[in-house]
Copies of this chain bind each other. A is one copy, B any other.
Amino acid sequence: MANQLMPALEEDGGCEVVQIYNRSSGPAELLSKKLHKASFTSTISEIDKDADIYFLAISDDAIPFVADQLMSTIPLDAIGVHCSGSLDLNVLPFERKAGFYPLQSFSPNHEVSWRWIPLIITAPDEDTWLALDEIAGRLSSSVYRMTDEQKSVLHIAAVFANNFSNHMLTLAESICTEQNLPFEILKPLILETFSKAIVSGPRESQTGPAVRGDQKTIEKHLKLLEERPQLANIYKVITKSIIEN
């Protein structure tokens, strides 16, 4: 995420990125080269002491550790920001702190357009909120201020919408593979499913045996899944949920 956020902060966010820190100097140097005049370092004690905002765009596990080390280095009135979707603000020891969470799934080879990424800002005080909102508003057209708890619940929703729906596709793929069917065969259906969910809403576009109450087909499917008890269990649990929702 850092690799896409830092250039965006310079290009559209109105920020001057002064330095990139990474525990390995290779990636730090690589990213600094994408920026106007950012230096780079892999030594925490060499981190620049004059910045206004410090972004911790690093893995959740590393945040408390790096934040504690940073605490003794950076100015008291600087804002320490983490970019985690699941961590609360209390993991940050700074006087002024905020969360800056882009609700998107990032991958190295695919550049995303920041304009459409919802940015979730958590900030306990008004000054900090205003500073982050100014930057976020230049990057994206949808900026939300939330409490830690609201953000956590949103993160759960994102797990369902992204991770769990994707896993359903993985299971579908594995069923096809077992039958020597190409996953390609499901792609037109998948495309239709998601464009309908986006356009008409998922509840309205639900189809299939469960929502039709088609017990005959459900029982037939469960019989065919008899030798794959874990898959059969998922089938039962989700079918029940569709019927009850």
Q: What residues of chain A have their CB less than 8 Å away from a CB belonging to chain B?
A: 60, 86, 103-105, 107, 110, 112, 116-118, 142, 144, 149-150, 152-176, 178-179, 181, 183-194, 196-198, 201-203, 205-211, 214, 216-217, 220-221, 224-225, 230, 233-235, 237-238, 241-242, 244-245
Would you give 8 A-B contacts (Cβ < 8 Å), ordered by A? Answer: A105-B193, A105-B207, A142-B185, A161-B193, A162-B193, A166-B196, A166-B205, A174-B245
Chain B residues, Cβ within 8 Å of A165: 165-166, 168-169, 190, 193-194
Smallest CB separation, A44 vs chain B (Å): 24
Is there contact, CB below 8 Å, between A186 and B158? yes
Chain B residues with Cβ under 8 A from A193's Cβ?
105, 161-162, 165-166
Complexed CA–CA distance, A154 and B189 (Å): 12
Name the residue on B nearest A112 (C-beta).
B192
In the bound complex, residues from chain B placing their C-beta under 8 Å from that of A198 are 187, 190-191
CB-defined contacts of A86 to chain B, threshold 8 Å: 209, 214, 216-217, 220
A-B contact sample (14 more), CB < 8 A, given A190-B198, A191-B194: A103-B186, A105-B192, A105-B207, A150-B181, A154-B179, A160-B169, A160-B171, A160-B172, A166-B197, A166-B206, A167-B245, A168-B168, A169-B197, A190-B194
Residue of B160, B162, B172, B217 near A161 (CB, 8 A) is B172
Instruction: Tell me the dominant secondary structure on chain A's binding face.
Output: helix
Cβ of A10 to closest chain B Cβ, rounded Å: 22
Docked Cα-Cα span, A234 to B170, in Å, equals 17
A188 CA / B110 CA spacing, docked (Å): 14
Alpha-carbon distance A165/B167, docked complex (angstroms): 8
Question: Are B105 and A196 touching (Cβ within 8 A)?
Answer: yes
